[in-house]
Amino acid sequence: MTLDGKVALVTGGSRGIGAAVCAALARDGAAVAVNYRASEAAAKDVVRRIEDQGGRAVAVGGDVADPVAAAELVQEAVRQLGDLDILVNNAGVSQDSLIYHMSPDAWVDVMRVNFGGVFHCTHAVLPHFMAKGAGVIINVSSVMGERGWIGESNYAASKGAVNAFTRCAAMEAARFGIRVNAVLPGFVPTDLVAGLTEGDTGRNIKKQIPMRRFGETEQIAAAVRFLAGPESSYLTGSFLTVDGGAATALGLGRPS
């Protein structure tokens, strides 16, 4: 197991991509802190499934949009698991709307969680990683941060901020032995994007993807697992796109 002895914290780990990431890291030997904001029961279910497979995991509550709560979350993960080697910034929300109809709260709230959470948790974990002279940070971003799509301006802007932050953080942290990379998923059916992947909308979007199918949470988790392990030890400031080729196509930028 190439992650044997490692400890990971996965924000937003109670469901969707986060839960798949927790399972993938644990399956390869890492102890995992499963973060949740409101879904305690779901987080404990992820922990139970990991323990049933012989792994080690704990559920840790905390709102990553709050800098104090994010710092406490990191401290609690270290306290319960004894160390921390890997941070996966996965927590995210969406409030889709056309710009014309969008309320100020809709873009502020999305930015606070999607980018604020990445910043706060990275800021909180850096002293620990710097003291060790090692650490891995993986930001779960989106192809939306690199492309345009109708109704996604706040979400895309938040992920664009994550991508820019990833580059800068990688440059600042490299001299301390810390790697910072990002995974950019395309369309993956989860609760977060249910409105885009179901029904006629989903069928029309699927036609715009070169591989003609949506991604799976496990495929995103496999990319995170690669960036977390020694196989990617010479990668930092890199973006791993997992989207079935969607970002290579011109596309329509909307459900056709």
Check pLDDT > 80 for residue 194.
no
Helices (H), the chain: 16-27, 40-52, 67-81, 104-114, 116-132, 153-173, 194-197, 199-206, 217-228
pLDDT at 237: 98
Q: Would you mind telling me the total number of residues written for the chain in this entry?
A: 256
* pTM score, whole prediction: 0.94
Residues 69-89: tens digit of each pLDDT: 999 999 999 999 999 999 999
Instruction: Please report, to the nearest 10 degrees, the dihedral formed by the alpha carbons of residues 143, 144, 145, 148 taken in order.
Output: 120
Residues 134-186: tens digit of each pLDDT: 999 999 999 999 988 899 999 999 999 999 999 999 999 999 999 999 999 99
Q: What is the mean pLDDT of residues 183-191?
A: 89
- Tell me the CATH architecture of domain 7-248: 3-Layer(aba) Sandwich (3.40)
Active-site residues, by number, are 155
Residues 233-254: tens digit of each pLDDT: 999 999 999 999 888 876 666 6
Distances (CA, A) of 89 to 5, 81, 113, 121: 20, 18, 10, 7
